[in-house]
Amino acid sequence: MSLFRNPFDPDSKLTSVCNCGRHGTQAEHEASKNQDGDALAENAVEQAVMRALFPRDEVRRHFLKTVGAGTALSAISTFFPLAAAKEAFAQGAGKLEKQKLAVGFIPITCATPIIMAHPMGFYARYGLDVDVVKTAGWAVIRDKTLNKEYDAAHMLSPMPLAISLGVGANAQPYTMPAVENINGQAITLAMKHKDRRDPKTWKGMKFAVPFDYSMHNYLLRYYVAEHGLDPDTDIQIRAVPPPEMVANLRADNIDGFLGPDPMNQRAVYDGVGFIHVLSKDIWAGHPCCAFAASREFVTKMPNTYRALLRAIIDAAAIASKPDNRKQIAEAIAPAAYLNQPVTVVEQILTGTFADGLGNIRKVPDRIDFEPFPWHSFAVWILTQMKRWGQIKGEVDYARVAREVFLATDAAKFMAEAGLTVPKTTSKTFVIMGKTFDPAKPAAYLDSFKIKRT
């Protein structure tokens, strides 16, 4: 549990004398807290240089004793650009413009990094006091974010694109600094369809997706279209907020849904549905939800934005390690967050789960957390928006992708959090056996038989 021990918790027991363990006495600790951030940062730089030059403690101490700390520092600065180093460091962590933030989320496991950063102290680590606020549905989260009631929010990755383009909302420049999760969705069908596993037989069935501008909508449409069904005429797709999906499935209002977890696993838990296919078997490594913020927030409060992004990327890095998943499940299951039985959340995060048909499946990458906002993800989403007639006319795919999916900052903080950072921002991927080349979006769009263009 040491991994998640809150370093700001004054009650945590450590062997050394002060709370944080870096100071000899509690008074010294308090005094250092009162220093302003800049001075602390400068100290840190000096210490780092000193330690790098004299990695052995005895040698360093001997040197300092003989010449004195002040002389040593000036001696070092003659051959090492200390001032420049301090300045470069200070730019990384400037003063926070705003400390108290509200971040909205929908109670689904996609939001894991945003949620877990609260109980596990990642926001506090960067000096932020964040209220994570549970929200009723995607339209409400969009409106509350556009109203600035939320400083940033958990959104579906197509939403920042849609908001920026002004489809389904008033155009407002929006950004997506990080993907929250990859995979982690599934098509769940009602128990009565246990023997109807071939999508070709799904004509006339009613499905729910969380929102029109969602990966769920595009993946479900893609999936049935690849099986020869027209998603607009052969089946019915309606937008239902995730929390209402299981209740609707139980009431026979819908035949199935392509929804986020915990709803798929919850349907199994309550015996009302079974998991037909995991979304990772449609497209392995697809993005789903995102951490989104307005361009205004990013440009007007750059330090706050960076601190927030860092906290979330740190959380994602922790969540991406399978060993931590059980603890995370316990942290995010209570009423204030997902409000689900722990075993349901645990089955989702660990990937060892009951499928509703009597089998226990082991799929460790059922959900995974890779924050990098690939530009090619945005391009794919835009091709699907165009494919289903949500956007009309010419689209500058590459430009929109670049402006909304902010890859630079994510890459920087991912490297700091110890994640592997891709060298490019674009990659090809395969969805149900069909390759997508982000350099040729128009040709890709033309290759589909079922489309609305």
Partner 1 sequence: MTVPGIKAKAGLLSFILLAIFLGAWHLATLPKSAVQTVDDEYAKLVGAQAATGQKSTFPTPADFGRKLLEHAADPFYDKGPNDKGIALQLSYSIGRVLFGFMLAAVVAIPLGFLIGMSPLGYRALDPFIQILKPISPLAWMPLALYTLKDSAVSAVFVIFICSVWPMLINTAFGVAAVRRDWLNVAKTLEVKPVRKAFTVILPAAAPTILTGMRISIGIAWLVIVAAEMLVGGTGIGYFVWNEWNNLSITNIMTGILLIGLVGMALDLMVGRLQKLVTYVE
Helix, strand, coil shares of the chain, percent, nearest 5, are 45, 15, 40
Quote the least distance from Cβ 136 to partner 1, whole Å. Answer: 4
Q: Kindly tell me which of 144 and 440 has the beta carbon lying closer to partner 1.
A: 144
Quote the least distance from Cβ 173 to partner 1, whole Å. Answer: 18
Alpha helix stretches (DSSP H) within 35-100 = 37-53, 57-67, 69-79, 82-92
Quote the least distance from Cβ 238 to partner 1, whole Å. Answer: 18
Quote the least distance from Cβ 19 to partner 1, whole Å. Answer: 23
Q: Kindly tell me which of 191 and 431 has the beta carbon lying closer to partner 1.
A: 191
Chain residues binding partner 1 by CB under 8 A are 107, 131-136, 139-140, 143-144, 147-149, 191, 243-244, 246-247, 250, 266, 268-272, 334-337, 339-341, 343, 347, 353-354, 356, 358-360
DSSP assignment letter at 230: -
* Residue whose structure tokens are 């001696």: 75
318 burial level (CB within 10 Å; 0-12, 13-18, 19+): buried
Q: Kindly tell me which of 20 and 133 has the beta carbon lying closer to partner 1.
A: 133
Dihedral, 438, 441, 443, 444 alpha carbons, nearest 10: 80
Q: Kindly tell me which of 143 and 226 has the beta carbon lying closer to partner 1.
A: 143
* Residue whose structure tokens are 């001997």: 62
Q: Tell me how far apart the alpha carbons of residues 97 and 304 are, in angstroms, rounded to a whole number.
A: 6
Q: Kindly tell me which of 154 and 375 has the beta carbon lying closer to partner 1.
A: 154
Q: Kindly tell me which of 332 and 391 has the beta carbon lying closer to partner 1.
A: 332
Q: Kindly tell me which of 337 and 377 has the beta carbon lying closer to partner 1.
A: 337
| 8 Å CB contact between 96 and 38 | no
Quote the least distance from Cβ 439 to partner 1, whole Å. Answer: 39
Quote the least distance from Cβ 253 to partner 1, whole Å. Answer: 14
Q: What number of CA atoms fall less than 13 Å from residue 372's CA on the CB side?
A: 19
Quote the least distance from Cβ 356 to partner 1, whole Å. Answer: 8
Q: Tell me how far apart the alpha carbons of residues 280 and 363 are, in angstroms, rounded to a whole number.
A: 10
| 8 Å CB contact between 219 and 225 | no
